[in-house]
Amino acid sequence: MPKKDLPGDIEKFAALGANIASFPAIQPAVPERVIGERRKFRTIWISDVHLGTKGCNANLLIDFLDHTDSETMYLVGDIIDGWRLKKKVYWPASHNDIVWRILKRAKRGTRIVYIPGNHDEMVRPFAGMNFGGVEIARAAFHDTADGRRLMVLHGDEFDTIMLAHRWLAFFGDALYHAAMGLNLWVNAIRRRFGLPYWSLSKAAKHKVKNAVEFISKYEEVVARAAGERGVDGVVCGHIHTADMRDFQHEGETVQYYNDGDWVEGCNALVEHFDGRMEILHWAEEVAQRDAAPVPESASESASVEESAASREAA
C-alpha cells in the first residue's frame, strides 16, 4: 500500500511500525534466558494478557515465552489494556520485555497473528496491516495438523453484556480491577500468617451460580456460531476461563477452546505437531520444574546425556 494513500493517523502508526521492527535490537530489562531446549509446539494461542495493568502476571508470561517456541503464535486479544491505560499510565519494564519477546519471535520466523480484543479495540482499525512481522487481523482461520479448521477470534462479539450494555461492561471492569487490588491486600495478610495464595475472584467466580451459568451459556453461544460457519471448532479468549469442550450443532461436533488468561489462570492453548490440543497451566508447569530441577545450560544437559549413555552402556 503506498504511504501517500494512508490517512494521517494510520501514517503515524505506520511510522511507529518501522520503530517496532527495530525494537528487538534494544536489550530487555529481564534478559532472555538461554535454556537447553525450548518446548516446541506447532501453534500457541494466548490472550487476555492485559499489559498496562497491575493484574498482568508478566513474570510468568516472560518465563513461558523463554521456555516455549512455535511455528505460529496467535495473540487472541486483550493483550494491551487500552481501557486502563486511558485512565492511568502503568507500564513497567517487564511489560516492555513481553512486547520485545513477541517481536523477537517474529524476527526469528514465528508467524504471529494478533487479533485485537475489546480492551485493545484501538488496534482493530489496523486489521490487514503488518507491524514488525506481526499480522493484525479481526479474526483468523487455523488449519490443524490433523486437518481440522478452527475459527480464531477474541470472543467479545458473543458477550451479551458487552453487546447490549457497554457501560455495564466498563463498570464490571472497574469492579474486577478493584477486586484484583483487594486480592493483593488479602494475600499480603495471608502471607504474613503463613497461609497459601488464595484467589478472590477465582473463588467468587466458582461460587457464584450466575457466573457459572454465564460461562457455560457463553461457551454454547460461541460454539453455535462456529457450527453455523461450518468450521470444526473455535478458539477464543475474553472470559478468562480456559476450557476445552465439545458441543453438538445439527448433528456435527463443534470443538470449543478457550486459551484462558494471564491475569489469574496463566494459561496457554497449544497444538502439538500431530494436531493434539492441550491447555497449559504455567504456574503448575513452573512448580513441577522447580520440584524436579533440570539442568539449564547446554553443557550441563550434555553431561547428563553422556552419563545416561554411559549408564546404558554399563
Among 53, 57, 70, 118, interactor with Mn ion by CB under 5 A: 118
Q: Are strands 39-46 and 267-271 parallel, antiparallel or unpaired?
A: antiparallel
Do 50 and 84 contact (CB within 8 A), yes or no? Answer: yes
Strand-pairing partners, residue 72, are 43, 111
Helix (H) or strand (E) holding 231: none
Strand-pairing partners, residue 135, are 113, 130
> Considering beta carbons, is residue 83 or 126 the nearer one to Mn ion?
83
Binding mask 134-163 for Mn ion (x = CB under 5 A): ----------------------x-------
Residues 6 or more apart whose Cβ sits within 8 Å of residue 228? 249
> Considering beta carbons, is residue 25 or 175 the nearer one to Mn ion?
175
Q: Choose the stretch contacting Mn ion; rule: CB under 5 A; options: 6-14, 75-83, 285-293, 299-307.
A: 75-83
Angle (deg, nearest 10), helices 93-108 and 58-67 = 20
> Considering beta carbons, is residue 106 or 123 the nearer one to Mn ion?
123
Alpha-carbon distance of 72 to 68, in angstroms, equals 12
> Considering beta carbons, is residue 34 or 174 the nearer one to Mn ion?
174
Q: Tell how many helices (H) and how many strands (E) occur in the chain.
A: 10, 12
Among 238, 257, 259, 277, interactor with Mn ion by CB under 5 A: 238
Q: Does 50 bind Mn ion (CB under 5 A)?
A: no
Q: How many residues bind Mn ion (CB under 5 A)?
A: 5
For the four alpha carbons of 83, 89, 92 and 96, in that order, the dihedral sign comes to: positive
Among 78, 259, 271, 285, interactor with Mn ion by CB under 5 A: 78
> Considering beta carbons, is residue 50 or 105 the nearer one to Mn ion?
50
Residue nearest to Mn ion (CB): 238
Q: Choose the stretch contacting Mn ion; rule: CB under 5 A; options: 32-40, 145-153, 233-241, 248-256.
A: 233-241
> Considering beta carbons, is residue 156 or 271 the nearer one to Mn ion?
156
Among 24, 52, 117, 233, interactor with Mn ion by CB under 5 A: 117
Alpha-carbon distance of 196 to 228, in angstroms, equals 45
Residues within the interface to Mn ion (CB under 5 A): 78, 117-118, 156, 238
